[in-house]
Structure 1
Amino acid sequence: MYIGKAAQLSGTTIKAIRHYEAIGLLPEPQRRGQYRVYSEQSVELLAFIKCAQQLGFKLKELQVLLHQHQGEGMPWTLASQAIASKKQELANEIKALQQVYAGLVAFEGQLDEARSSCPLPESRDSAHRDLGTDLSDKQLEHRGADQQQAQA
């Protein structure tokens, strides 16, 4: 089958297939004239790559996995080992994120305690607004006096 059909069946794009070939993830296909011809095994490998990427595997990780594989067929044993490793990595990340979350909850509680045990004085914003109003009134009084002197 040609590249367009392989892309359609595997759920990838023609551009992605060419990229996978360029970086060595997908072996060079046979050619019929100028056209690349893909096998069912190529389509299966493309689907595998796409699925692995969607589950968090990087192309570099897949390159290592596929380069370790010797022979025909899919590298199911190596894939199983990589999946187990990725699951452990995710479990560690989840645990670290749960610790960060617990820290944020504790910090939030400390802030609430501090706020309730130490009532804040009148906010600075309202004090500035009052001062601004006073200044405006004084400025108006001053202008009024200037106008009276000018008229006299």
Structure 2
Amino acid sequence: MYIGKAAQLSGTTIKAIRHYEAIGLLPPPQREGRYRLYTPQSVELLTFIKCAQQLGFKLKELQTILHGHSGDALPWQRASKAIVDKKRELMCQLEALQTVYAGLEAFEASLEDAQNQCQFERLAGR
């Protein structure tokens, strides 16, 4: 299939496919004259890349996962490890954000207390 059909089936763009080829995420396709020919496996790989990006993977991370990839099978073991690592990273980020959130809640409460104290003192004539 041609690049337009591969883009359509994978939910990516022609520009993205060319970029993935340029940075080595997608192996160079077979050619028929000037036209690139993509296989169903290419579409599977493109779909994998798009999905991984939507879930927070950077292209550099995907390059590590797909490094040396060739043939029909995706490197499932490397992908699984990367997913576990990404989940661990996200949990750390969530914990850090929860700590910041709790700090903001406490800060907000202390400001409200200070504001209420000022209003009380003003009413009491101090």
Distance apart, 1:119 and its partner CA: 2.4
Distance 1:69 1:5, change over 3 A: closer
Distance apart, 1:69 and its partner CA: 4.4
2:80 matches 1:80: yes
Distance 1:28 1:70, change over 3 A: closer
TM norm structure 1: 0.76
Aligned partner of 2:51: which letter?
A: C
- What percent of counterpart residues are identical? 69
Aligned residues: 122
Which protein has the larger Cα radius of gyration, Structure 1 or Structure 2?
1
Greater RCO, CA 8 A, separation 6+: 2
Aligned partner of 1:107: which letter?
A: F
Distance apart, 1:92 and its partner CA: 0.4
- For 1:67, the equivalent position in structure 2 comes to 67
Secondary structure of 2:12 counterpart:
coil
Distance 1:9 1:60, change over 3 A: same
> Partners in 2 of 1:21 and 1:71 — Cα distance?
15
Compute the RMSD of aligned alpha carbons: 1.7
- For 2:96, the equivalent position in structure 1 comes to 96
Distance apart, 1:117 and its partner CA: 1.2
- For 1:40, the equivalent position in structure 2 comes to 40
TM norm structure 2: 0.91
Secondary structure of 1:25 counterpart:
coil
> Partners in 2 of 1:14 and 1:73 — Cα distance?
23
> Partners in 2 of 1:60 and 1:113 — Cα distance?
48
Stretches of structure 1 lacking an aligned partner (at least 5 in a row): 123-152
Distance apart, 1:78 and its partner CA: 0.8
> Partners in 2 of 1:70 and 1:121 — Cα distance?
75
Aligned partner of 2:4: which letter?
A: G
Secondary structure of 1:119 counterpart:
helix
Q: Is the 8 Å Cα contact of residues 69 and 78 (structure 1) preserved in structure 2?
A: no
